[in-house]
Homo-oligomer: A and B are copies of this chain.
Amino acid sequence: MVKIDYTSVMAETIGERDGILREELLSFRHFISDIHSRIQREKENRFFFTKLPYQDTSEIKEYADYIRSEFDYFVLVGIGGSSLGAQMLFESLTWLNHNSFNYPKFYVLDNVDPEKFEAIMEKVELEKTCFNIVTKSGSTVETIANFSIILDLLKQNFGEEYKKHLIFTTDPEKGFLRKFGNENGIKMFDIPPKVGGRFSVLSPVGLLPAAVLGIDVDKLLQGAKKMDLICSIEEHVEHNPAYLIAIVHYLANMRRGKTIAVMMPYSERLSAFVDWWRQLWAESLGKDGLGQTPVKALGTVDQHSQIQLYRDGIRDKIITFIQVENFERNLKIPESIPDEISYLRNHTLGEIMNKELLGTKAALIKSKIPNLTITLDEINPYNIGMLIYLYEFATGFSGYLYKINPFDQPAVEEGKNFTYALMGREGYQHKLEEFRELYREKYKLEIQ
């Protein structure tokens, strides 16, 4: 079950300066109707991610079983859209201590930080490790740099047997990785060409690692399918959860100046869900001077770090709480505690979490800060599948509200090109000249 309570974004609750009028929500009727038809027409193109819940998972599950039987360590080498989804599924749908007590142990090598590389390599036994190299383009610098060192290590240790330790997840035709895989007979999974990295978690990019970790990927897709059915049929903003989330954030941004969207789950396991959402929201909508800045927070921890600012700082935020009704494990405060703290007696830690969420929410309402709560009855593959699809659909729809293309990321290339130039890559000499014009070190202060 996924429940959205948006009472506290409404003007009725927090006033019209910060809150949204019901009439504003409803006034989008015709606009929604247009976008709704457009999305239906684009399901084979831009909105291809809507097809993913209906895919056949048998090859993924079969190969995952083979990996589980052959390997003790599964290392995903990928970054951004190639890693955030799998990391999110891992953290939310396996036990927090998975790697302490279960096999295969799972690690994500995203960064090119050499210390992180070494730290992961220290923890695995190479002969029992499967590396899943994930890059849509097949040429992502960080991924290919890490891969090149891993490839060398594997060849040194196992000769031609190195191939057994590799799986590529990449474009079905294009790119260096596909070519290398074809030439050397590496096992490969396809990323559908029309699905961008940040919308790819329900493709083999996320599903293969999930299946290797023993997560029920069919339940995950079942949740996504359920959400697809509702989002694809309902045109009424109050009945379509994706349109509701999109329009509430859009109105908060464009009409109430809420340029920051905070997501604050009260559950450690959902921490990585926010990282996944941050990319989705920022890269899809942050263009043309528009979009909101997504900000990650975690309850209860950030009550002691960010709530002062959220209540009493700049009034530029809309906050989404995520509540979990039932924790997988729970603990009761013992009867025997000292009298001074007797108010804790008979509460569980889970209850305290949820009462802190309510207390924080009330304090925000009192300060007229718009906020909504998404409640899951529990964290399970079905609910996470719903939540993933909900935010993907809301993001795609939002792009059309903002009149931008939510599926591209034109501003990302520039930095890559400068990096290539600095690394001396052929064909990038002109960028080196441009770099030298732009980059100066004139104002400096050094303390030894």
* Bound CA span A442–B417, Å: 51
Residues of B within 8 A of A282 (CB): 305-306, 308-309, 313
* Bound CA span A417–B366, Å: 13
- B415/A356 in contact, CB under 8 A: yes
Contact A111 to B301, CB < 8 A, known contacts A13-B440, A411-B367:
yes
- A2/B417 in contact, CB under 8 A: no
* Bound CA span A267–B176, Å: 28
- B414/A366 in contact, CB under 8 A: yes
- A305/B328 in contact, CB under 8 A: no
Residues of B within 8 A of A267 (CB): 113, 115
Which residues between 413 and 436 of chain A lie within 8 Å of chain B, taking CB atoms?
A: 414-426, 434-435
- B115/A414 in contact, CB under 8 A: no
- B340/A179 in contact, CB under 8 A: yes
Question: Residue A340 contacts which of B155, B176, B197, B290 (CB distance < 8 angstroms)?
Answer: B176
- For residue A353, CB closer than 8 A to chain B, the reply is yes
* Bound CA span A306–B84, Å: 13
- A438/B116 in contact, CB under 8 A: no
* Bound CA span A197–B439, Å: 39
A253 to chain B, nearest CB (A): 9
Residues of B within 8 A of A349 (CB): 112-114, 117, 145-146, 149
Question: Residue A331 contacts which of B118, B241, B438 (CB distance < 8 angstroms)?
Answer: B118
* Chain B binder among A48-56, A69-77, A93-101, A199-207: A93-101
Of the four ranges (under 10, 10 to 19, 20 to 34, 35 or more), the interface on chain A belongs to 35 or more
Residues of B within 8 A of A59 (CB): none
Question: Residue A114 contacts which of B6, B227, B327, B434 (CB distance < 8 angstroms)?
Answer: B327
- For residue A123, CB closer than 8 A to chain B, the reply is yes
Question: What 0/1 readout, one digit per residue, does chain A (74-118) give for beta carbons within 8 Å of chain B?
Answer: 000001110010000000000111001100000000111111111
A36 to chain B, nearest CB (A): 17
Contact A330 to B114, CB < 8 A, known contacts A305-B80, A423-B355:
yes
Residues of B within 8 A of A307 (CB): 411-412, 415
* Bound CA span A275–B155, Å: 40
- For residue A315, CB closer than 8 A to chain B, the reply is yes
Residues of B within 8 A of A415 (CB): 303, 307, 356, 359-360, 362-364
- For residue A323, CB closer than 8 A to chain B, the reply is no
- A314/B293 in contact, CB under 8 A: yes
A102 to chain B, nearest CB (A): 12
Residues of B within 8 A of A165 (CB): none
Which residues between 101 and 148 of chain A lie within 8 Å of chain B, taking CB atoms?
A: 101, 110-119, 122-123, 139-142, 144-146, 148
Q: Which of A241, A298, A344, A426 has the most CB of B within 10 A?
A: A344
A408 to chain B, nearest CB (A): 9
Residues of B within 8 A of A58 (CB): none
Residues of B within 8 A of A348 (CB): 114
- B286/A312 in contact, CB under 8 A: yes
Residues of B within 8 A of A444 (CB): 3-7
- For residue A38, CB closer than 8 A to chain B, the reply is no
- For residue A172, CB closer than 8 A to chain B, the reply is no
- B358/A423 in contact, CB under 8 A: no
Question: What 0/1 readout, one digit per residue, does chain A (141-164) give for beta carbons within 8 Å of chain B?
Answer: 110111011011001000000000
- For residue A61, CB closer than 8 A to chain B, the reply is no
- B293/A316 in contact, CB under 8 A: yes
Closest B residue to A237 using CB positions: B445
* Bound CA span A290–B298, Å: 23
23 contacts between A and B (CB under 8 A): A10-B443, A84-B305, A113-B267, A141-B344, A144-B344, A145-B344, A146-B349, A180-B338, A259-B259, A259-B314, A260-B260, A278-B306, A282-B308, A286-B309, A286-B313, A287-B312, A293-B313, A293-B314, A308-B411, A343-B425, A355-B422, A360-B415, A366-B414
Q: Which 4 A-B pairs have the closest CB atoms?
A: A80-B304, A286-B309, A286-B313, A359-B419
